[in-house]
Structure 1
């Protein structure tokens, strides 16, 4: 059982190296993500710990090795799949002022008649704050809809429902 535990600990060491060195040790020329340090570390650690568990449950050495290899293939495949998924994931561009037209917002600083107040737009986990102008005075807390762009920091808004004076 001790050799399997040592193999498992070596696999954990490879996984830690893959986190610290961020793919420097990856073998880019060999089948992409299948030979990444994350996939190899997952395979080796699952082989070791899977074999140790099987041997601890009473399985003979050869059977424990087969069980460990099966566990290693499963974890190695999952690591490669997850690595590929993360690397190919697209990221959205940061929204610009013109992107907020049509979005809902909330007045955080009252908008006076003919003047500027402030609004907050929340979208995709981001909070954007803009100076805002409206056709009529709007108190803080009013739900608004962004109708246009005046500058990179200012927008025009309209109340989404009638506001009582």
Structure 2
């Protein structure tokens, strides 16, 4: 709109503001879902219920922001324009919710390596970092599943710092019996 040769900005339509608030609520629900909080949890804790949180967040966010965009593009001051905005928001929301569900399902069912157990310590090669006495514990650093792990260590005889060792048995999850090699 031009007034005396100066461009003026029209205020945002009330419907657009409401749609933006709905979109913001969807983003807030998504943030809560990403933080691991089980919002809208119905039934068994391991089941998402009839609709997952990610689907609700994706649908609500896309609906709100999509409808706000359409509402501003069509002028959004009449019931017909608001109906067009709602239709545009729904058109954006359905595929977004579907993608959100697919991505969250893929993340939840992603294959990962097995968690190492004390049996994985047996045969590991390592280095003495604290001397191993005859009747006590020292410390060794070994690699388990590619990660360095420091463990308490016993041996049949004394072993000095810097000696190379291998694990003969796992006495517990944090202690081993070692021999030099």
For normalisation by structure 1, the TM-score amounts to 0.63
Q: Structure 2: which 5+ residue stretches go unaligned?
A: 1-15, 76-80
Return the alpha-carbon distance in structure 1 between the equivalents of residues 94 and 165 of structure 2.
54
Q: Structure 1: which 5+ residue stretches go unaligned?
A: 160-165
Q: Which residue of 1 aligns with 2:67?
A: 51
8 Å Cα contact 1:149/1:155 also seen in 2: yes
Q: Which residue of 1 aligns with 2:38?
A: 23
For normalisation by structure 2, the TM-score amounts to 0.58
Structure of higher CA gyration radius: 2
8 Å Cα contact 2:124/2:142 also seen in 1: yes
The structure 2 residue matched to 1:69, chosen from 80, 84, 90, is 90
Return the alpha-carbon distance in structure 2 between the equivalents of residues 110 and 37 of structure 1.
54
Q: The residue matched to 2:104 in structure 1 has which SS?
A: helix
> How far did 1:9 drift?
2.4
**CA deviation digits over 1:99-133, x for unaligned, max 9?**
20122333211346898532023435573412143
Return the alpha-carbon distance in structure 2 between the equivalents of residues 20 and 10 of structure 1.
15
RMSD: 4.1
Aligned residues: 154
> How far did 1:4 drift?
1.9
Return the alpha-carbon distance in structure 2 between the equivalents of residues 73 and 54 of structure 1.
16
